[in-house]
Amino acid sequence: MAPIAVGDSIPDGSLSFFDENDQLQQVSIHSLAAGKKVILFAVPGAFTPTCSMKHVPGYIEKAEELKSKGVEEILCISVNDPFVMKAWAKTYPENKDVKFLSDGSGTYTHALGLELDLTEKGLGVRSRRYALLVEDLKVKSANIESGGEFTVSSADDILKAL
């Protein structure tokens, strides 16, 4: 399956998260993105070094600047279970804007064509690192990394596309 690309419509899919009342919820990507400018960014794994020290902190630090350019939602997706994503989100107490969403079985990642097989490293099938700028469900910018690289999917890279 070809990876999602500029001009494509994002598929709908159900992801999990814990709300502010610590209740497990399911949410449709389309319900979060329809009629809005949103960023979907994904990481290969919660608590992994590049994801935890560079990728997520960049979006937290640049959230106000992104919002000033019309971004309404900043969504972090990982093929981890919702309990791991909840624990990971708590390691960023300063975060007010990035939503941590679980794609526990990788079905949404598969629908995007952005799987990354890390079986040899003991991680199973995960998500490639990417950042998508989406306007009303259409991909305007698709910054998709090769392997475990971190060269095109940062908050600064998305700011250049806005």
Kind plus residue range of the DSSP H or E element containing 150: none
Rounded to an integer, what distance in angstroms lies between the CA atom of residue 40 and that of residue 142? 10
* Token pair for 68: 């000033």
Catalytic, 51? Answer yes
Rounded to an integer, what distance in angstroms lies between the CA atom of residue 109 and that of residue 113? 6
CB 125 within 8 A of CB 137: no
**Which residues on adjacent β-strands are paired with residue 138?**
9, 135
DSSP secondary structure letter of residue 8: P
Rounded to an integer, what distance in angstroms lies between the CA atom of residue 44 and that of residue 50? 9
51, 63, 116, 131: which is the annotated catalytic residue?
Answer: 51
**Residues acting as catalytic residues:** 51
